[in-house]
Amino acid sequence: MDHRLKKASQFSYIYKKGKRTSTALFTLFSVDSKYESYKIGYSISKKIGKANKRNKLKRRLREIIRTENLPQNFKNYVLLVRPGAAELEYDELKRQIKNLFEK
């Protein structure tokens, strides 16, 4: 099953109606889903770097969320990534994402 948010309207709805949880490098917006699954979208600024750097970060984030089974509930999420996150080691990235979802 594809757990990705893709449409701009989905992102804007979650930004407006969602609950916000933040750390220094990430902000997680969440809103209840009407389906029995979760969906997540990634918002990564061009300030992070060129497309290959942003795509690598997105792949890492998707893998962390997949392997750690992080969303334990039926919600839709938008993960906003701030500059500086791309420089984190994989283990530190994993730790910060786990802490963000546990808040």
How far is CA 31 from its chain centroid?
13
Confidence at 9, pLDDT banded by 50, 70, 90: very high
| Domains contained in the chain, number | 1
Confidence at 1, pLDDT banded by 50, 70, 90: low
Q: Distances in Å between the alpha carbon of 64 and those of 12, 17, 68, 81? A: 24, 26, 6, 14
Token pair belonging to 6: 């893709």
Q: pLDDT digit string (tens) for 23-64?
A: 999 999 999 988 888 899 999 999 999 999 999 999 999 999
Determine the average pLDDT of the residues in 58-71: 89
Residue 17 identity (one-letter amino acid): K
How much is the pTM? 0.87
Interatomic CA distance for residues 93 and 87, integer angstroms: 9
Q: Looking at the predicted structure, is the pLDDT value of residue 73 above 90? A: no
Q: How many CB atoms lie within 10 A of CB 40?
A: 20
Residue 2 in domain: no
Determine the average pLDDT of the residues in 77-92: 93
**Which structural domain, as residue segments, surrounds residue 52?**
8-102
Residue 14 in domain: yes
Residue 70 in domain: yes
- Residue 86, domain CATH: 3.30.230.10
Cβ 44 vs Cβ 37: under 8 Å: no
Residue 3 in domain: no
Determine the average pLDDT of the residues in 4-22: 92
* Bridge partner list, 20: 29
Q: Is the Cα dihedral 55, 58, 64, 67 positive or negative?
A: negative
